[in-house]
Structure 1
Amino acid sequence: MASVQPRLPERVATARSLARGCWSAFLDYETPKVIVVRNRRLGVVYRAVQLLILLYFVWVASGARAALSRRYVFIVQKSYQDSETGPESSIITKVKGITVSEHKVWDVEEYVKPPEGGSVFSIITRIEVTPSQTLGTCPESMKIHNSTCHSDDDCVAGELDMLGSGLRTGRCVPYYHGDSKTCEVSAWCPVEDGSSVSQFLGKMAPNFTILIKNSIHYPKFKFSKGNIASQKNDYLKHCTFDQDSDPYCPIFRLGFIVEQAGENFTELAHKGGVIGVIINWDCDLDLSESECNPKYSFRRLDPKHAAASSGYNFRFAKYYKINGTTTTRTLIKAYGIRIDVIVHGQAGKFSLIPTIINLATALTSIGVGSFLCDWILLTFMNKNKVYSHKKFDKVCTPRHPSSSWPVTLALVLGQAPPPPSHYSQDQPPSPPSGRGLTSGQGADQPLAVQPPWPCPISVPPEQMVDTFNQHIRERLPVPEPSQQDFLPTNPKGLAQL
């Protein structure tokens, strides 16, 4: 006779049943519940939100080409392209022209600093010259703080002012002109404001020509291009820049650059300033190479209206010897127009990966319309409780003593309930309560199917209801439901919303 298997304890059996239920629930597939609500106002809101999202993504994906030529709309990114910003760039500049001042004729070698022809250079338009400076002692400039004096006691020998011209000797001497006195210094004499002479070089400067040779390279796409057209050798000798007729002749008049920056040339030549020449290479590499063209813009970069730092100037000196022994120099304080050539841009080309990513983002964003409309229905609609009842199905557990927790777990996991020994005739399940209709309630209250135990919003799954109902019928008589306890069977569903 076979041995009888020992019966497992109740808790072990319940734990195994719980594990099987969890594993079964893990392999289940869940799908959203779709409800059609026939409400024109809500439908208009839903479709309007979807339309706005689609228009945004369509504009981003296909409208960028038009946006490049119509910058007044807004900056748009081509979301279907792989892009690269900041091209590798080289710049070569060359200035040509002559001008005159009160005392001499100036050529390129004298008024362009530095002469190497890089992306930043200055064109001198006015100078203050202090000629024949030699090393010696002379009065300090009155522009220096605490330089004025009345006697030698006001000057400290060996004192050095970092903003001054030299080392003080301790003597108080008459100034270069007038009755004032300043402390004597050991420096290059005479100091700058003692005998400087101003000369204006900007009379013919508006006609100076500037060649800006620029080439760019996008390494990701292996694309290179320059801003000079491949024509005859003498092409650049007879052309000047024109956006319509000669866009690939990068020779600009200095007066044209200042005018395009919105500045007055005479005022700028006297005080100096910084003008930016911006070259923009925005290229759609899905098109032909001829569609990738440089766009030039000009603007002033330095603070024009700042009284403490307006204008632009710098100093340099020219050294020579007299009789081969005495070192002499000419100090020049130069005011001019500094040109900064700035190159930037972005290239894009179709790529499958960003296309898929942005398409998925667009489709996901359309769900915002459903979220918004659900929020409106659940919050502001008159029959929001009916909609909530239809949209959400919740599992409700019976109210039993603590000893009946295996029944609750089994019902939640969709398993068969434990043996009916837990119930007795003297302790039936709690009567229904919640939001169901009673005979005395009006028709305005939301309708709900009465389950065999309390459920404030919805009903449990059919399998659980049938299993539990079968068990209850064996123990308790089931009263006949009234006509008001049923949901309306109108096939139009929520058409009355």
Structure 2
Amino acid sequence: MCQRSSYQIFDRSPISAVTIKVKPSSDCSKNSSIMRFFPNYHCEQSLYDVNDFIIPATENSAVSITTRVIEIEHVLRLCDTTARRKHSNKYSSFNITSIHECYEQKRCLLPPLYRYEYENEKIIKKPQLCWFKLPTAASKRNYRALNYILFIKHFVEFPQLGLIRDNLVANKIKPKYIDTCEYHPKYHPLCPKFRILKILEMIETNPEEYEAMFFYGSLIEIKINWKCNLDRRLEYCQPHYEFQRLDIQPYRENPYDPGSNFLTSRYYFRPNESALHRIHTKIYNLHIIVSVTGEVGRFDLFQTTTSIGSFLGIFGTGTIVCDFVAAFFTNFKNLKYDI
């Protein structure tokens, strides 16, 4: 009877909007307990431009921070396993003479530059092309992402009760405080700035996973939870941050492609060459998703009277149960009445 659900109505369907900015930290966190698990990272190294590692640049309530990049170069050439083939057409931009062996089954593979030219041709008339891998390949790691700072701003509305709040809580967060604070679950629980290094500490306790998260990428959720009692003062309505990993862990138990990654390509021609080249880029990242949930309650007279009526109805139910027991489970022959 004294529970909040007995005298309050609730709105559990918030509408939210989230914006995320990524900035480099002005200093390095050298006191973190997990820094020793990244021996190849040195805080004294010069910082990269953060914008080069936010791919894609815009997402809905999420951000992807690149941790590792593999670039492989390919060249598009005619595929022939028997003899030299020459494809020449004075009206065509495709003019290549080459001998190559296809290690895979031949197929009609048209790059974007030639799709319009051959789209109406039959399959047998289309050139049999293959992407041939060149020996040049590059691999890079972005350990500087450990000291990137996420600045999260979000607005939440509970339309049923007409409540609108944001995580920059009034009378709690001042401009000077935002400039110097970093989130800490105990000392700075309302600070909207999150260091990647601190997030990794909170979501993972296995030291073997830290390097693997940068190698394979990882999927991380930051959950902003609102639980407010509008019968109290509004200043007590504050967000609570929770952090968790969403990808399968540990990575060695994942039978599929572990972590978080995606592929992208760009095409170009080298000077004085007619062969089309492609840079095939595989990007591993920390894909961070921000979700907003909440529950807001407020006193309601109808809910209160309904709960009181239900509570009083329990006594009527008790009378019916007692009569039922007396009628079917009690031996009336053993009862004696004094006259």
* TM-score of the two chains, using structure 1 as the length reference: 0.49
- Which stretch of structure 1 is more off in the superposition, 273-282 or 327-336? 327-336
In structure 2, C-alpha distance between the alignment counterparts of 1:156 and 1:117, rounded to whole Å: 38
Contact 1:123 1:337 (C-alpha < 8 Å) held by counterparts: yes
User: Alpha-carbon deviations, 1:83-110, whole Å to 9, x = none?
Assistant: 1112111100011228999xx9642122
Contact 1:113 1:123 (C-alpha < 8 Å) held by counterparts: yes
What pairs with 1:350-389 in structure 2 (closer than 5 Å)?
Answer: 350-381=299-330, 383=331, 385=332
Higher share in strand:
2
Partner of 1:265: 210
Instruction: Determine which structure has more spread, i.e. the larger CA radius of gyration.
Output: 1
Partner of 2:148: 208
In structure 1, C-alpha distance between the alignment counterparts of 2:128 and 2:260, rounded to whole Å: 28
Cα distance, 1:198–1:185 mapped onto 2, change above 3 Å: farther
Q: Give the root-mean-square deviation of aligned CA atoms.
A: 3.7
Cα distance, 1:238–1:321 mapped onto 2, change above 3 Å: farther
Cα distance, 1:128–1:283 mapped onto 2, change above 3 Å: same
Higher share in helix:
1
Cα distance, 1:310–1:80 mapped onto 2, change above 3 Å: same
Partner of 2:248: 303
Instruction: Point out where structure 1 has 5 or more consecutive residues left out of the alignment.
Output: 1-56, 62-77, 140-151, 161-168, 171-183, 387-443, 448-487, 491-497
What pairs with 1:339-358 in structure 2 (closer than 5 Å)?
Answer: 339-358=288-307
Cα distance, 1:106–1:234 mapped onto 2, change above 3 Å: same
Residue 355 (structure 1) shift: 1.2
User: Alpha-carbon deviations, 1:96-143, whole Å to 9, x = none?
Assistant: 228999xx9642122112223641221111121114x4433479xxxx
What pairs with 1:67-466 in structure 2 (closer than 5 Å)?
Answer: 78-97=5-24, 106-116=48-58, 118-131=60-73, 133-137=74-78, 157-158=106-107, 186-190=129-133, 195-201=136-142, 203-230=143-170, 231-262=173-204, 264-304=209-249, 305-323=253-271, 328-381=277-330, 383=331, 385=332, 444=334
In structure 1, C-alpha distance between the alignment counterparts of 2:105 and 2:217, rounded to whole Å: 37
User: Alpha-carbon deviations, 1:130-173, whole Å to 9, x = none?
Assistant: 14x4433479xxxxxxxxxxxx899765467xxxxxxxx99xxx
Equivalenced residues, count: 280
- Higher relative CO (Cα under 8 Å, sequence separation at least 6) belongs to 2
Amino acid at match of 2:147: N
Partner of 2:83: none
Instruction: Point out where structure 2 has 5 or more consecutive residues left out of the alignment.
Output: 29-39, 81-100, 110-122
Contact 1:83 1:347 (C-alpha < 8 Å) held by counterparts: yes
Contact 2:24 2:149 (C-alpha < 8 Å) held by counterparts: yes
In structure 1, C-alpha distance between the alignment counterparts of 2:106 and 2:243, rounded to whole Å: 52
- Which stretch of structure 1 is more off in the superposition, 324-333 or 270-279? 324-333
In structure 2, C-alpha distance between the alignment counterparts of 1:339 and 1:212, rounded to whole Å: 11
In structure 2, C-alpha distance between the alignment counterparts of 1:242 and 1:341, rounded to whole Å: 17
User: Alpha-carbon deviations, 1:311-351, whole Å to 9, x = none?
Assistant: 21101234555449866442210111110101010111111
In structure 2, C-alpha distance between the alignment counterparts of 1:273 and 1:224, rounded to whole Å: 33
State the identity as a percent: 27
Cα distance, 1:279–1:321 mapped onto 2, change above 3 Å: same
